[in-house]
Amino acid sequence: MSHFIAGMLMSMGLGLGLGIGSIMAIRNGTNNSPIHTLVTLVGCNIIDITMMFLYYFGLATVFSITQIQIAMYIVGIILLSKIAIKNIRNAKQVLDITNKKKQSLWKSALDGAGSALFPSSLIWWVSTVGTVLVSRTSHLPHFILACAGILFGFQLCNIVYFIIVVLIDKLSSSKIIYWLNILSGCILLYIAFTFIKQLLVIL
């Protein structure tokens, strides 16, 4: 049970922090409907499960290779900057709520999976979730318990984000949605900046 609790506490601490996936989820939820928040986060979780399988079989360790990390950071910086600028540039479009073009749940799920497949997200996964799992790969029951705890913790975080978006949706304020898009763009730019600093350290 200690392995389950360790995994759960770690994932809750990570999941409640604003990252690429959570920003995507809040944006999709506020721009469409709250259910899009959950669907986006489930898309992220599918990649989490896939990475757990890869990690158990030793394939995810490829992300620890320095040259691959450098390439992934560069791609991540470019993609994060493009999404951030797009969020800020298009923020005014959400002010007209009645004419918003709704996207499908399938597209929201792909947004979630795509955010989890960001090069920077994969590096983050290996350096955080991976460190909890690596010492347990030699003992399958412990590994399964840790994975279950991690996924359970992420689901609790998903519920928290869903409730936040429901509350925002109840207010029905286009100004709130506008500033959320601006804020999400600024946060993504900040994350890109931190990746630039990490890249310089590696170089």
Check residues 1 and 111 and name the one with the higher pLDDT: 111
Check residues 99 and 49 and name the one with the higher pLDDT: 49
Dist. CA 88–CA 181, nearest whole Å: 6
Could you read off the pLDDT of 136-149 as tens digits, one per residue? Answer: 777 888 888 989 99
Other CB atoms closer than 10 Å to residue 125's CB: what's the count?
A: 21
> Do residues 195 and 80 make contact, with C-beta atoms less than 8 angstroms apart?
yes
Domain boundaries, the chain: 2-202
> Residue 17's closest CA among 192, 150, 187?
187
Q: Say whether pLDDT at 79 is over 90.
A: no
Model confidence band, residue 97 (pLDDT cutoffs 50, 70, 90)? very low
Model confidence band, residue 99 (pLDDT cutoffs 50, 70, 90)? very low
- Max avg pLDDT among 12-16, 37-41, 189-193: 37-41
Whole-prediction pTM: 0.70
- Max avg pLDDT among 13-17, 21-25, 142-146: 142-146
Amino acid in position 65: I
> Do residues 46 and 106 make contact, with C-beta atoms less than 8 angstroms apart?
no
Could you read off the pLDDT of 162-202 as tens digits, one per residue? Answer: 888 888 777 756 666 677 777 777 877 877 787 788 778 87
Q: Say whether pLDDT at 94 is over 60.
A: no
Model confidence band, residue 60 (pLDDT cutoffs 50, 70, 90)? low
Q: Say whether pLDDT at 134 is over 80.
A: no
Check residues 156 and 19 and name the one with the higher pLDDT: 156
What would the mean pLDDT of 33-40 be, rounded to a whole number? 90
